[in-house]
Amino acid sequence: MRIRFAAIFAAILTVVGLSAAPASADVWWLQYTDTSTRLCIDAQYDAQHAYWWLQEATCKTPVGSGAAGQVYQIVPSGTGAVWIMSGVPGPQCVAIGSGSAADDTVGLADCPGTRPIYWDVEWQVSEVSENPNGSVNVMFQSTTSGKCITGAGSGVRLVQQACDSTNPHQVWRQHLKEGCPRCLAARRD
């Protein structure tokens, strides 16, 4: 199981390279669902505060149907960690407040290389289990705080909390498999 995930993850990292410009990358945009609620990670924009925050919401399928806030790419950061790049315009990456170890809200911030960064955007992605259809369940752990992205139900903002692989709200199903209605190939220009 780990060998299969490692091969898939290595292939993704090889294809993505070190580019922070995903539009031309030949990779997948993926949805991630909470293994307990089956809700997707969903980006919402707060115009009053000019801030993107993440919540759980009903998945939009197929993903080509206005689901830019529900698709993500795993992009190598060059440090051994990864950025989790959102499909919303920006580019925007999943982030927590810079240096924060509190159980803070997880949001989106400018990806590295676009402007000065005041948010921590580097993550470790670890496999928890493999599903019968070949997709995998993963956890996203902040390289700064050591805490994991945690969901709490529909419309509730995601937070970071102490990692626990037995907590189904911290385990996210990565929908990468053949014929996947929750995957979207990158544009080919």
Q: What does the alpha-carbon distance between residue 189 and residue 172 come to, in Å, rounded to a whole number?
A: 31
pTM: 0.77
pLDDT band at 172 (very low <50, low <70, confident <90, very high): very high
The whole-number average pLDDT for the span 168-183 is 72
Question: 63 near 85, Cβ under 8 Å?
Answer: no
Query: Among candidates 75, 73, 66, which has minimal Cα distance to 186?
Result: 73
Segments forming the whole domain that contains residue 18: 2-185
The CA-based diameter of the chain, rounded to the nearest angstrom, is 46
Please list, in sequence order, all residues whose beta carbon lies within 8 angstroms of the beta carbon of residue 171, skipping any fewer than 6 positions away.
Answer: 34, 35, 128, 129, 137, 138, 139, 165
Structural domains in the chain (count): 1
Please list, in sequence order, all residues whose beta carbon lies within 8 angstroms of the beta carbon of residue 147, skipping any fewer than 6 positions away.
Answer: 101, 103, 141, 160, 161, 162, 163
Say yes or no to pLDDT of 34 above 80: yes
| CATH number of the structural domain spanning residue 15 | 2.80.10.50
φ/ψ of 24, rounded to 5, equals: -100, 0
